[in-house]
A and B are shown apart, each in its own frame.
Chain A
């Protein structure tokens, strides 16, 4: 085989491998967060299962006491009221626990609609809250999250793709903060577009790192934490898929601010 032909073949194979890597990235990034997502769901499930057992046995006890009081014609003992009070509080806990699980599942559903090729109107705060839920193990109990969402109309976008960008930026922000810190997420209208700002008080980037930020394969994270794909994919999603822009400012030791702008409407195909 001619060397030129061989080079062309290798280039094609490399391009295919690169495309496959990018296509598998969203699920792979979710896989890395899975342990945290399981942890987030385990606590409410533990409560619901425990409460169910306590409720079933308490109801049995209440039934027996009420039956006994009906048979003997005496009022039910005060303990019955105590048990009913406990049941009311357990049912409130169950409601909270279910809401917690539902919010994680909603985040997963939005994120996993990878095959969704249609543009649809989505609420930016909902996408941000969903991504925050998925990334919570990266920041919870360590980093304070502040949100400030302006009243904006829904934005026409590929929701699962935009959710991927938000997830990347939130995870990056959380991992850039060593110990305690703050992530601020806000939305506003700017230059006729919807703007999302994600600011962290993390370690920031040097000018050399900043120059390579959107390059494929570039990462400042330790081995095993970063793939070097997140920001290049985010750039592609925002700029090429949504005709928007993504910019950042960063100062070593102070933190990083990412600003994404996307148009409110997408061109009709």
Chain B
């Protein structure tokens, strides 16, 4: 009973309990090309992670993003990293600076620029990093997980729950996602008024 109640609290606090549908989107990649979710004809789902350049908590995850993409893109679940920072407020969150990070961190996946913040708003992304798993059901993208990437930012060696990987493994096995929501931890995404 206690455990069920705590799970419930965890979900309602993350404000994500109901089944949510997100739209296909097209954004500019750091190489200048436009990337669309529609381009991935055989994708079963996507890992969509909102990040930014300056947030110290987001910076902890570069290597783990590469690992996630390396493992799951082969299984038709590519990773799309998105920067939805308010570029009026944060001059450094530019496409040029994103490209530098992508090169330096050897990103093996697209790093997309969302200066209008449209995609972040559709996902209701709150923090950087805020991770989502979306899955194709009846030609729609359904959010199957929303929250943190895992449960230890600074110490990957101490991670006990790999939320994203767990959700993907369960989806690939045709099972329901056990932990479908959790807190996203990091810096708040400032939405331009």
Is chain B found bound to chain A in the same assembly?
A: no
Binding site for B on A (CB under 8 A): none
Binding site for A on B (CB under 8 A): none
